[in-house]
Copies of this chain bind each other. A is one copy, B any other.
């Protein structure tokens, strides 16, 4: 596709706003990757603009709005759905020069951070006060406050602490025309009409650019108990979750599931030593926030669940090293790619529908052609299944894989994206998990806030 290029005079206008070092073009720009999924492909934008202040973001957007130049924001560039992909007619926008924590209020347990701050920095600053910022994901060292708000990031502790949405008390954002929307209040409760922050959470930079946020911190857990379980199936695992939540008053911080194909792959010789025999029908990793003196209660619960038949076998981590070892089996999903399962999916379905859905989709993928296969795992306590399938190298066959995995979701009230977002990669699938009326509402809000469609155009919606 051909795109009109951005005139040099306009780039000079941007450089005048952000200073010469704020505008990246040419070879330096081409040295940056197009997106996480295309590490070899250079960023194609006309330029990358790097403002230093909210005021500069406002001036940049006002200029782009007036001239009709599209703007594609990028955060830590760790997203999986090509939400930051640009073409030569677009200006890429990074807040990488707007990092830093402005303040921490340990008594109110809140923090004000700039959009360019990494999640690791936020976690460290919380820890320094004896507190915790609960959002956690593999990309913590690169992912930013702004990017995780734009994508409403999930991760490993959603079951207990929610997604990024639940950790943002207030924010500051810049609209397409440069208007600065200040909604930076550090309040848990603020019932004063439509809360503007929800327009910017999970909308992938299509409604505004988040520049700062007030984050909610939590007390740091005193400790964890971590168990690896074998179960008769995912329904039994769901009952284990419910019983554990009840016994420990909702303190299950992670409940991860692994279907047998995944577990056997991960515990093949040369990979991880299997903590439990490899012949069980289902595996789960459960982690509870608790203190050491509660260990007898954990043993009693596991025994009771074994008597009920919902647990077949179990191992409890006896040290931090063992705990990390158990987690590695669930977390080392990068090993799936060389093992032949290179196509990732990220869907959600109600927990009660998970067993039948995974069984049917696994069969359907395997039937596409000999050698086609799928392994399933994920944050099942959140209803979130990650699939990895064998790349088939043929678009028609891949469409059959998509149909096997995405097709049943509509009838199950599931979602084509539990946590990764829509971006460019999944916009053709949006209609499978948003009704026409929902999409019409989403478009009406987009039209109201960005009528010239300069903010991340073409993302989320097709056409």
- The residues of A with any CB-CB pair to B shorter than 8 Å are 105-110, 130, 151-152, 154, 158-159, 162-163, 166, 170, 175, 179-196, 198-199, 202-204, 206-207, 218-222, 235, 238-239, 242, 245-247, 249-251, 289-291, 293, 297, 348-352, 379, 382-384, 413-422, 426, 430, 433-435, 437-438, 440-442, 444-449, 460-461
Contacts and interface: CB of A to CB of B under 8 A. Distances in A.
Contacts of A421: 191-192
A197 B392 CA distance: 38
Contacts of A414: 185, 187
Interface of A is mostly: loop
Contacts of A290: 249
Smallest CB-CB A-B distances: 8 pairs: A198-B198, A448-B448, A189-B418, A219-B246, A190-B415, A108-B351, A107-B352, A219-B245
A438 B166 contact: no
Nearest to A182: B435
A188 B460 contact: no
Contact of A384 (B130, B152, B189, B419): B189
Contacts of A413: 170, 184-187
8 contacts: A130-B246, A192-B416, A192-B460, A193-B202, A196-B441, A199-B441, A249-B291, A445-B449
Given A105-B350, A235-B107, A242-B107, A194 B199 contact: yes
Contacts of A434: 183, 192-193
A209 to B, nearest CB: 14
Given A192-B415, A383-B108, A447 B448 contact: yes
Given A383-B108, A383-B188, A437-B182, A204 B195 contact: no
B433 A444 contact: no
B442 A348 contact: no
B246 A222 contact: yes
B194 A207 contact: yes
Given A130-B246, A192-B434, 4 more contacts: A183-B435, A191-B417, A191-B419, A221-B249
Contacts of A170: 413
Contacts of A110: 350
Q: How many copies of the shown chain assemble into the complex? A: 2
A244 to B, nearest CB: 9
A383 B435 CA distance: 37
Contact of A444 (B183, B188, B242, B449): B449
A185 B448 contact: no
Q: Which of A107, A239, A349, A414 has the most CB of B within 10 A?
A: A107
Contact of A191 (B199, B221, B418): B418
Contacts of A194: 198-199, 202-203, 207, 441-442, 445-446
A193 B422 contact: yes
A460 B187 contact: no
A182 B430 CA distance: 14
Contacts of A291: 249
Contacts of A206: 193
B187 A415 contact: yes
A198 B441 CA distance: 12
A154 B219 contact: no
Contact of A187 (B105, B159, B350): B350
A108 B187 contact: no
A107 B218 CA distance: 28
A192 B460 CA distance: 8
A124 to B, nearest CB: 18
A203 to B, nearest CB: 5
Q: Which of A246, A250, A382 has the most CB of B within 10 A?
A: A250
